[in-house]
Amino acid sequence: MKWDSIETFFLDMDGTLLDLAYDNYFWHQHIPSVYAKYNNITFKKAKLILEKEYKKKQGSIQWYCLEYWSKKTNINLSIELLKTKNKIKVFPGAIDFLQSLKKKNIKIILLTNCPREMLNVKITQCKLWGYFNKIISSEDYEFAKETDEFWKILEEKIFFNKNKTVFIDDNQDVLRYSYRNGIKNLVSINFPDSNEEKKSISKFLSIDSISLFNPEIIK
């Protein structure tokens, strides 16, 4: 594939443009810590309770929803988000990559499961406003990206040529659903969380970071 054959980039946010280390910290460390304090239990017990609840909703729209988890935990997650926003980081080279796409007049569409409230905080914190032709949260469609429904609605809402579209995401379930809905130029990220080891990726082309993307890897 050549640069001049690409019309549209679908880009994930967390784990692709932004370091997933923040989300893993927020959901698996910070919130259990607050939950433990509010309920006068140990961090270990709080984490066990929450991880069990997270697992029940994994892959659904509720799994990503601040409002849902605020009600579930009796914690104002909007406040906790603002308390921890300084930990949100953009990956090195990600902004340079976005700038290079804009110079090539390639349409850039952000596709994220991140809910609008958290999305706005992250985009503001990382100064990413202005790089995208369109920003779509799965919350807008009421279906997570790892569902057929999301991709069907997306195709109804926006025009794009599937053969001239590249989609980069760190979530292999999401990539599988996009593939079965006709998007074939797919790339995964090996290191979505800078604090963790390389992911094991079997089916899809993969790169260590978005800054290393080269269209020639797509045959």
Domain with residue 130: its CATH number is: 3.40.50.1000
Place of tokens 């032709």: 133
Place of tokens 């094991």: 200
Q: Is 25 exposed, middle or buried (0-12, 13-18, 19+ CB in 10 A)?
A: middle
What is the CB-side half-sphere exposure of residue 16 using CA atoms within 13 A?
A: 25
Confidence at residue 202, expressed as pLDDT on a 0 to 100 scale: 67
Domain count, the chain: 2
Answer yes or no: do 190 and 94 share one domain.
yes
Strands 8-11 and 107-112: parallel
Answer yes or no: do 81 and 94 share one domain.
no
pLDDT per position as a tens digit, 112-132: 999 999 999 999 999 999 999
pLDDT per position as a tens digit, 37-70: 999 999 999 999 999 999 999 878 888 889 999 9
Answer yes or no: do 211 and 156 share one domain.
yes
Confidence at residue 214, expressed as pLDDT on a 0 to 100 scale: 87
Q: Compute the average pLDDT of residues 68-84.
A: 96
Counting DSSP H helices and E strands in the chain, the numbers are 10, 6
Percent of the chain residues topping a pLDDT of 90: 87
Give residue 50's domain range: 22-86
Answer yes or no: do 101 and 196 share one domain.
yes
Confidence at residue 3, expressed as pLDDT on a 0 to 100 scale: 86
Final residue belonging to a domain, choices 31, 54, 86: 86
pLDDT per position as a tens digit, 190-204: 999 999 988 876 688
> pLDDT at residue 219 above 80?
no
Confidence at residue 154, expressed as pLDDT on a 0 to 100 scale: 97
